């Protein structure tokens, strides 16, 4: 009886740790996008990018943030794997965005992908 309780407790603990890891992934992606916005603004203020580039980067960042909002929505509904997949997708593309921003204004936004029309699991 004690062994069964211990095994169930361990499984529950591992499941909760997995959920927290997914939530941490979502939070990390939000932080990356916030950093990208700050860097974009600094580049614009220092004359390294044009107003048009700033606006285009803002649109990409906004689309990625909407993807993350969908991930968080899926997470709250218990669709953890879907939430994790979206968050990892955003992290990958936020990394590409940050790399582009660190290239002194030589930005190719075509390398950054977003997910359109995310409806989540209804």
Q: How far is it, in rounded angstroms, from Cα 60 to Cα 64?
A: 6
Given a contact cutoff of 8 angstroms between Cβ atoms, the answer to whether 82 and 74 are in contact is yes
pLDDT of residue 16: 73
Write the CB contacts of 65 (distance below 8 Å, at least 6 apart in sequence): 30, 33
Residue 75: both structure tokens together: 């997470």
Residue 47: C-alpha distances to residues 44, 52, 53, 107 (Å): 5, 12, 11, 14
What is the rounded distance in angstroms from the CA atom of residue 66 to the CA atom of residue 52?
21
Spell out the per-residue pLDDT of the chain, length 122, in tens.
555 454 444 444 456 778 899 999 999 999 999 999 999 999 999 999 999 999 999 999 999 999 999 999 999 999 999 999 999 999 999 999 998 888 866 777 777 777 765 544 43
Looking at residue 101, its pLDDT comes to 87
End-to-end C-alpha distance for the chain, whole angstroms? 39
| Reported pTM | 0.78
């Amino acid at each position: 009886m004690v062994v069964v309780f211990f095994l169930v407790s361990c499984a529950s603990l591992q499941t909760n740790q997995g959920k927290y890891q997914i939530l941490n992934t979502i939070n990390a992606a939000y932080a990356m996008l916030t950093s990208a916005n700050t860097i974009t603004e600094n580049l614009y203020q220092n004359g390294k990018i044009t107003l048009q580039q700033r606006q285009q980067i803002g649109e990409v960042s906004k689309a990625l943030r909407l993807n993350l909002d969908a991930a968080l929505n899926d997470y709250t509904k218990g669709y953890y794997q879907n939430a994790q997949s979206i968050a990892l997708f955003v992290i990958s593309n936020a990394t590409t965005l940050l790399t582009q921003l660190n290239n002194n204004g030589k930005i190719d936004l075509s390398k950054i992908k977003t997910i359109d029309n995310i409806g989540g699991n209804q």
